Structure 1
Amino acid sequence: MKIYDITQEVFTSVVYPGDVAPSYVRNVSMDKGDVCNVTVVTMCAHNGTHMDAPFHFVKDGKAIEELNLYHCIGNCTLKEFDKQPTAEELRQVLNESQKKVILKGPVVITMELARCILAYNLELIGVESQSVAPIEAPMEVHVELLKNEVVLLEGLKLDQVEEGEYFLIAAPVKLGGSDGAPVRAILLDR
């Protein structure tokens, strides 16, 4: 079995415009004579590879710890696009896909693509971008998908993975009440 780590390293990760960049302080250090090392981390819940909770854009939506973990773990389809797919191109992929789909390449989920995702009852959609939605207008797509409890997995690192069928493990860190959380996303060859 081959394991693919599709997670960005946090401190060198891509940061969404306007978000605080992740940083750390070694609060306790063996180099200073302390008995161990202890690191204090400061970061946005949406830095690096992360998952959005409905609460991110839906006022009374579920927080990250309330997500259905069955939507975050299981068989998934990874499909590569070299350009933005049309709705018809996405439908062709979804016709033969698992309920969890990861899109590799320069893909942004438009409202037209969001409607396709909902029509096929996807549980999870993953992208390489720091946001599934267009940066200039993120709200409409996020609201549409999150209010229907589609798990949004963003900031994936897919350069070492080819399209195909995999087993996905992408459980979010359990940050009670949070609108999102970091994820260590892993694909296993099936």
Structure 2
Amino acid sequence: MKIYDITQEVFTSAVYPGDEKPSYVRNSSMEKGDVCNVTVITMCAHNGTHMDAPFHFVKDGKTIEELNLYHCVGNCTLKAFDKQPSAEELREVLKHSQKKLLLKGPVVISMELARCILEYDLELIGVESQSVAPLEAPREVHVELLEKEVVLLEGLKLDEAEEGEYFLVAAPVKLGGCDGAPVRAILMEL
């Protein structure tokens, strides 16, 4: 079985414009004579490969630890696009895809595409960009999908994986009360 790590390395990861870049401090260091190495991390919950919880854009939405983990793990479809797909192109993919769909390439979810996703009862949508929505108007798309508890997996690294069917493991770190969390996402060949 082949496993694809589709996660960005945190400290060199892409950062949403305006977010603080991840960093760390070595509080204890064996090199300095300490008994062990201990690292303190500072980062935004939305750096690198991460998942959005409804609470990110929905006032009374679920926080990250309240998400249905069945939406984060299971069979998925990976589809590659060279350019932004039309609603018709996405519908054609959705007709034949699993309930979890990863989109490879320069894809952002417009309101038109968000409505297509909801028509097909997707559980999870994943993209390579740091946000599923356009940078200039992120709120509307996030609210549309998060209110229906569609899991949003952002900042994927899909360059090594080909189109096809996989088993996805993308559980978020259990950060109680948070609007999002880092994810170590992997794909396994079926």
* TM > 0.5 fold call: yes
Distance in 1 (alpha carbons) for counterparts of 2:156 and 2:173 = 16
- The one-letter code of the counterpart of 2:73 is I
For 2:171, the equivalent position in structure 1 comes to 171
For 2:47, the equivalent position in structure 1 comes to 47
Residue 80 of structure 1 pairs with residue 91 of structure 2: no
- The one-letter code of the counterpart of 1:3 is I
For 1:147, the equivalent position in structure 2 comes to 147
For 1:68, the equivalent position in structure 2 comes to 68
Q: CA deviation at 1:114?
A: 0.1
- The one-letter code of the counterpart of 1:20 is E
Distance in 1 (alpha carbons) for counterparts of 2:67 and 2:163 = 26
- The one-letter code of the counterpart of 1:89 is E
Distance in 1 (alpha carbons) for counterparts of 2:146 and 2:21 = 25
For 1:105, the equivalent position in structure 2 comes to 105
- The one-letter code of the counterpart of 2:184 is R
For 2:162, the equivalent position in structure 1 comes to 162
For 2:23, the equivalent position in structure 1 comes to 23
Query: Matched residue of 1:165: which SS?
Result: strand
CA RMSD of aligned residues (A): 0.2
Q: CA deviation at 1:61?
A: 0.1
Q: CA deviation at 1:2?
A: 0.2
Distance in 2 (alpha carbons) for counterparts of 1:42 and 1:139 = 25
Query: 4+ residue stretches of structure 1 with deviation over 6 A?
Result: none
Q: CA deviation at 1:184?
A: 0.1
Q: CA deviation at 1:115?
A: 0.1
Distance in 1 (alpha carbons) for counterparts of 2:138 and 2:161 = 27
Distance in 1 (alpha carbons) for counterparts of 2:17 and 2:50 = 15
Q: CA deviation at 1:113?
A: 0.1
Q: TM-score, normalised by structure 2?
A: 1.00
For 1:95, the equivalent position in structure 2 comes to 95
- The one-letter code of the counterpart of 1:50 is H
Query: Matched residue of 2:79: which SS?
Result: strand
Q: CA deviation at 1:179?
A: 0.1
Q: TM-score, normalised by structure 1?
A: 1.00
Q: Deviations over 1:46-94 (max 9, x none)?
A: 0000000000000000000000000000000000000000000000000
Query: Matched residue of 2:173: which SS?
Result: coil
Q: CA deviation at 1:25?
A: 0.3
Distance in 2 (alpha carbons) for counterparts of 1:122 and 1:99 = 5
Q: CA deviation at 1:22?
A: 0.2
What is the aligned residue count?
Answer: 190
Distance in 2 (alpha carbons) for counterparts of 1:134 and 1:38 = 38
- The one-letter code of the counterpart of 1:62 is K
For 1:187, the equivalent position in structure 2 comes to 187
Distance in 2 (alpha carbons) for counterparts of 1:50 and 1:106 = 18
Percent identity of the aligned residues? Answer: 85
Structure 1 unaligned spans of 5+: none
Distance in 1 (alpha carbons) for counterparts of 2:27 and 2:9 = 21
Distance in 1 (alpha carbons) for counterparts of 2:80 and 2:65 = 30
